[in-house]
Structure 1
Amino acid sequence: MTEEPQERKVRQLDARSLRGLAHPLRMQLLDALRHHGPATASQLGERLGESSGATSYHLRQLAAHGFVEDAPEHGKGRERWWRAVDQGLAFHAEDFEQAGPEVRGMAEMYLHEVANTHARELSSWLSARDRWSEEWSRASDMSNATLRLTPELAVELVQRMHALIDDYRDRAPGKDAPNSEQVRVHTHLFPIETD
């Protein structure tokens, strides 16, 4: 019997939630909880090279904006465990076009931090790929393509790529399946200037 895929809870970012998230350490904390599961402020501090005081403060800020919550089933005694509320975030630039300069600045900071995170993850993979099996090394991809599209075709392509990724998410083997690993997929589509 196969398990029915769970609906993936994705949070749509708005101006208020962006205020609570648009900070590099908060974004790293949320990513760590989403990708590695519940943890304490101390564990997250160790993982990210930050003090537990800093991680604790920023976790409370994330909780105030609904990004993280207590995970009491993991704690023992006074230990406070945190977990991510959502499995993903959605950012739509058009939601911020009419916003004031402060919110637009936070949106820019958020987007740049996402790009920095993608670069760090890719660099970490390149540094560690020799520790993975040859099979996983061959299964990885780092490619790019240049196309000529209209904005409408670009939107269609992005939607189809996301649908394809969702199809594979629904087909994902369980955690205990032989040779299965968690993988990251980055997609970027943007216009480039040409002469």
Structure 2
Amino acid sequence: MQIKSFSARTLDANALKSFAHPLRLRIYELLDEHGPSTATGLAGLLGQNTGATSYHLRELAKHGMIEVVRGMGRGKEKYWRVVPGGFSYGEPPAADDDAETAGAMEYLLDDLVRRRGAELARWRQESAEAPEEWVEVSTYGRRSLRLTPEETARMRDEVFEVLERYRAASDGRQDPPESAGHVVVHFDVLPLGAGRRD
């Protein structure tokens, strides 16, 4: 079954291996949440030296994960941001075919699960103090359905089409409205038990 891509690109094996690094993942998270920053600013947040953050920023940029923001900074100062459009991890390679890439994929998927749990826990805490309009529009959702693989693919693609519309609107803004916030959407389709051999 063909899987549609709803991101700007799918990471290749080299990008996967490069991204599967704790400091690079953290740098990416900080840029995603807080917006553009310099190597010096990130070094302060991460407790690293500027040389280390500069190196990891260049590695992320080499694989198209982040980019320099034109028109920001003075002299040689560079502000970095996440490349709009996002990315996907693609199909996991078989461990026999490419053990290093398969290991990187496992690491990234485990980190994705960790981040989702941390973001849910963070919102649970923050929601008690958040402005009422944000509490009203937030939601937790879970559905348990009985679907065929074809129905599941159709549902997944329809949800991603909606998310893609809002991602394009978000990425296309030069100056977001003052009311705009950093909104995270978790969406998983998990055919639990599908791999069971009874």
The residue that corresponds to 1:186 in the other structure is 186
Unpaired stretches in structure 2, ≥5 consecutive residues: 1-5
Q: Percent identity?
A: 32
Residue 176 of structure 1 pairs with residue 177 of structure 2: yes
- Structure 1 residue 78: deviation in Å? 4.1
**What is the CA deviation profile of residues 118-147 of structure 1, one whole-angstrom value per residue up to 9, with x for unaligned ones?**
222222211211221222212111121111
Q: In structure 1, what residue type is equivalent to 2:133? A: E
Distance, in Å, in 2 between the alignment partners of 1:170 and 1:65 is 21
Of the three residues 79, 82, 92, the one matched with 1:84 is: 82
Calculate the TM-score normalised by the size of structure 1: 0.79
Q: In structure 2, what residue type is equivalent to 1:192? A: L
Checking the alignment, whether the CA contact within 8 Å between 2:20 and 2:108 is kept in structure 1 is yes
**What is the CA deviation profile of residues 99-119 of structure 1, one whole-angstrom value per residue up to 9, with x for unaligned ones?**
411111111111111121122
Unpaired stretches in structure 1, ≥5 consecutive residues: 1-7
Taking structure 1 as reference, are residues 21 and 147 closer, same or farther at Cα in structure 2, changes over 3 Å only? same
The residue that corresponds to 2:115 in the other structure is 117
What does 1:1-195 align with in structure 2 at a 5 Å threshold? 10-47=8-45, 49-53=46-50, 54-71=52-69, 73-93=71-91, 96-97=93-94, 99-169=97-167, 175-176=176-177, 179-193=179-193
Checking the alignment, whether the CA contact within 8 Å between 1:44 and 1:52 is kept in structure 2 is no
Name the SS of the counterpart of 1:90 in structure 2. coil
Q: In structure 2, what residue type is equivalent to 1:189? A: V
Calculate the TM-score normalised by the size of structure 2: 0.78
Distance, in Å, in 2 between the alignment partners of 1:71 and 1:165 is 25
**What is the CA deviation profile of residues 12-60 of structure 1, one whole-angstrom value per residue up to 9, with x for unaligned ones?**
111121122112321221233234322112222334x331344233212
Q: In structure 2, what residue type is equivalent to 1:24? A: P
Taking structure 1 as reference, are residues 135 and 82 closer, same or farther at Cα in structure 2, changes over 3 Å only? closer
Name the SS of the counterpart of 2:81 in structure 1. strand
Checking the alignment, whether the CA contact within 8 Å between 2:17 and 2:100 is kept in structure 1 is no
Checking the alignment, whether the CA contact within 8 Å between 1:71 and 1:83 is kept in structure 2 is yes
Distance, in Å, in 1 between the alignment partners of 2:44 and 2:125 is 20
Taking structure 1 as reference, are residues 136 and 50 closer, same or farther at Cα in structure 2, changes over 3 Å only? same
**What is the CA deviation profile of residues 140-190 of structure 1, one whole-angstrom value per residue up to 9, with x for unaligned ones?**
11121111222222221111111122234456697226x443311110111
How many correspondences in the alignment? 185
